[in-house]
Structure 1
Amino acid sequence: MDEGTITLYIAASLDGFVATEDGGVEWLESYQDESDDTGGGYEDFFGRVDCLVMGSRTYEQVLTFGEWPYDEKPTYVVTHRDLPLATDCVELFAGELRDLADELTARYEHSWLVGGAALSRAFLRQGLLDEIRLTIVPVLLGRGISLFDDGGIERGLTLLERPSSANGLVELRYGVDATASSS
């Protein structure tokens, strides 16, 4: 197998927030069934994913959804806390992100960085993402948890595709350039 890829696949409001200030994502619910209208969408993407990675707050939020939604796909939760395991496929990870990324790309063809925002920014800052698939949701939240911050790293992106749906969802798919510069 060639080296695998790590993709951040996430939705954000038009003003750049992935959640409300309290971490809520209820504003996404009315678009959930229609997200597959954007050129393959979630179901197509998830079918190609071999492994998932998420931060502890995202994981805790997923636990509140009821049944574990990710089947038996291996899932790494980046945390220094002792959290309950949703399934035998969930593993807690407390090491260096570079080591995790190296393990992911060696073992899996396609890893999905689910979120949250802080973990996504850390992966981006350290140059550990190969692709960003950002679904823009046609809503302005006004405030909340921002996907990107002023972390001081400039990184080029290459637009790979930009499908849209009738309900206003736009998926921006970018390749992430390997080199970065400080701003």
Structure 2
Amino acid sequence: MSEDKITLYIAASVDGYIADEEGGVDWLEEFQTESDGDEDVEGFSEFFETVDCLVMGSATYEQVIDFGEWPYGNKPTYVFTHRSLSPATEAVQFVDDEIADFVPEIRQQYNHIWLVGGAQLAQSFLQRREIDVIRLSFIPILLGEGIPLFSGEYDGQRLSLVDTTTHGSGIVEHHYEVS
């Protein structure tokens, strides 16, 4: 992974939703258990080792907290929120800044930043052209409705396909560089 990159690494249904209409992601569990014992279905461990810090929205943060134990260890994690929340670990910091003010600062501190989600934050980063790489795993399910990953205006941003990986579970990951 090249340096000074912000990567949106996320899963979506084939019809483009990252969560159901209530914000739930239970539908992903079926595909995690179909991995035929392969704990690293999407190369996540390898990807995660390259990440210096994480950025996420407050709804994503609260959802991760609800899963139980904090899965990201001591990696610095920045959560965009206007609300007062409790940090899961000492590595979690809350951000109430504009993306335009935050991104130059974080790019100076870290080489590889993982934009975990959610949809609104990803859309805001994309609209401000602050995402360098998109790793999008399409989950073979049609939700019909829910929270769309891509919504809004992107001013014709071009994506260059770097790689495509197909997994036995039916998950297809597309790896793009954003132009």
TM-score range (shorter-chain normalised) is over 0.9
Q: Which runs of 5+ in 1 are unaligned?
A: 178-183
- Does the Cα contact within 8 Å between 1:59 and 1:77 map onto a contact in 2? yes
Aligned to 1:36: 40
- Does the Cα contact within 8 Å between 1:3 and 1:106 map onto a contact in 2? no
- Does the Cα contact within 8 Å between 2:123 and 2:152 map onto a contact in 1? no
Aligned to 1:134: 136
- Does the Cα contact within 8 Å between 2:3 and 2:112 map onto a contact in 1? no
Aligned to 1:77: 79
Shift of 1:37: 3.5
Runs of 4+ in structure 1 displaced over 4 angstroms?
none
Equivalent position SS for 1:154: coil
Matches of 2:25 and 2:88, distance apart in 1: 20
Q: CA RMSD in A?
A: 1.4
- One-letter identity of the residue aligned with 1:56: S
Q: Which runs of 5+ in 2 are unaligned?
A: none
Aligned to 1:147: 149
Equivalent position SS for 1:120: helix
- Does the Cα contact within 8 Å between 1:36 and 1:42 map onto a contact in 2? yes
Matches of 2:23 and 2:107, distance apart in 1: 29
State the identity %: 51
- One-letter identity of the residue aligned with 1:31: F
Aligned to 2:51: 49
Shift of 1:153: 2.3
- Residues 1:88 and 2:90 are matched in the alignment: yes
Matches of 1:3 and 1:98, distance apart in 2: 20
Count of residues in Structure 1 that have an aligned counterpart in Structure 2 = 174
Matches of 2:155 and 2:82, distance apart in 1: 25
- Does the Cα contact within 8 Å between 1:37 and 1:164 map onto a contact in 2? no
